[in-house]
């Protein structure tokens, strides 16, 4: 939890409490429904919460921004971002129902109200959003193909609407076909922990 305050010292009391609650909630839910690998659950704040908040370091969403988390699993990056941006709306989508159930329960117990949920394949989701966020779901080209239909033509953020995803490792092959509309930002620009040494935020304007 100190790690979150180290990088986001301006959190309100409510947000601090909500981030604090994530520890017990995910330990509890993960014991029932596996959404985080068992050996990684003790790294919840660094590997999952702070990693998700890499998107908040990349861009601060304006109030009223609509965001879909495609393949949210247990709620990453959607739930930490929903706590961070209480004036934005997050729509969490996953094709596995029991993972969406974990997201719903965690959000309900936290009292996070700016989140909706849908158990479906993203291919079936027709609603429009300003941004789609995603972590560890599928290659960039496949994500772009699926979400083109979901990106609203109305712009009201500092950067054009599009896809913002968290990726690691060698990305050139993935980003090359989308080169002129892609921006890759290493997370080590924001976070000093070794875990982030090779991790990146990949933004594609659409």
Ligand X SMILES: C[S@@+](CC[C@H](N)C(=O)[O-])C[C@H]1O[C@@H](n2cnc3c(N)ncnc32)[C@H](O)[C@@H]1O
The neighbour count for residue 56, using CB atoms within 10 Å, is 19
According to CB under 6 A, which one of 25, 58, 71, 106 is a site residue for ligand X? 71
Report residue 165 as tokens: 């995803």
Q: Toward ligand X, which CB reaches closer, 116 or 160?
A: 116
Q: Which window, 5-13, 72-80, 178-186, 187-195, contacts ligand X (CB under 6 A)?
A: 72-80
Binding-site sequence positions for S-adenosyl-L-methionine = 71, 76, 122-123, 135
Residues 6+ apart with CB under 8 A from 151: 128, 129, 130, 131, 132, 161, 162, 163, 206
Q: Which window, 19-27, 55-63, 92-100, 102-110, contacts ligand X (CB under 6 A)?
A: 92-100
Q: Is 49 in the site for ligand X (CB under 6 A)?
A: no
According to CB under 6 A, which one of 29, 45, 76, 117 is a site residue for ligand X? 76
Least distance CB 180 / ligand X (angstroms): 26
Q: Is 54 in the site for ligand X (CB under 6 A)?
A: no
Q: Is 137 in the site for ligand X (CB under 6 A)?
A: yes
According to CB under 6 A, which one of 4, 44, 58, 73 is a site residue for ligand X? 73
Report residue 95 as tokens: 């094709």
According to CB under 6 A, which one of 81, 92, 94, 182 is a site residue for ligand X? 94
Q: Is 122 in the site for ligand X (CB under 6 A)?
A: yes
According to CB under 6 A, which one of 121, 145, 156, 173 is a site residue for ligand X? 121
Q: Toward ligand X, which CB reaches closer, 108 or 145?
A: 145
Confirm if 68 and 93 have CB atoms less than 8 A apart: yes
Residues within the interface to ligand X (CB under 6 A): 71-74, 76, 93-96, 99, 121-123, 135-138
């Amino acid at each position: 939890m100190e790690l979150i305050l180290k990088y986001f010292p301006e959190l309100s009391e409510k947000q601090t409490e909500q981030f604090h609650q994530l520890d017990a909630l995910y330990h509890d839910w993960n014991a029932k429904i596996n959404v985080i690998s068992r050996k990684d659950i003790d790294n919840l704040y660094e590997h999952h919460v702070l990693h998700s908040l890499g998107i908040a370091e990349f861009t601060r969403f304006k109030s009223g921004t609509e965001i879909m988390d495609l393949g949210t699993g247990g709620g990453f990056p959607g739930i930490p971002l929903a706590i961070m941006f209480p004036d934005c709306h997050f729509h969490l989508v996953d094709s596995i129902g029991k993972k969406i159930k974990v997201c719903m329960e965690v959000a309900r117990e936290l009292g996070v109200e700016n989140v909706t949920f849908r158990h479906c394949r993203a291919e079936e989701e027709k609603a429009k959003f300003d941004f789609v966020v995603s972590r560890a779901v599928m290659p960039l080209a496949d994500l772009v193909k699926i979400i083109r239909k979901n990106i609203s033509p109305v712009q009201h953020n500092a950067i054009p609407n599009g896809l913002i995803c968290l990726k690691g490792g060698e990305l050139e092959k993935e980003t090359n076909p989308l080169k002129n509309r892609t921006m890759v930002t290493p997370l080590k620009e924001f976070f000093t922990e070794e875990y982030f040494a090779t991790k990146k935020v990949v933004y594609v304007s659409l």
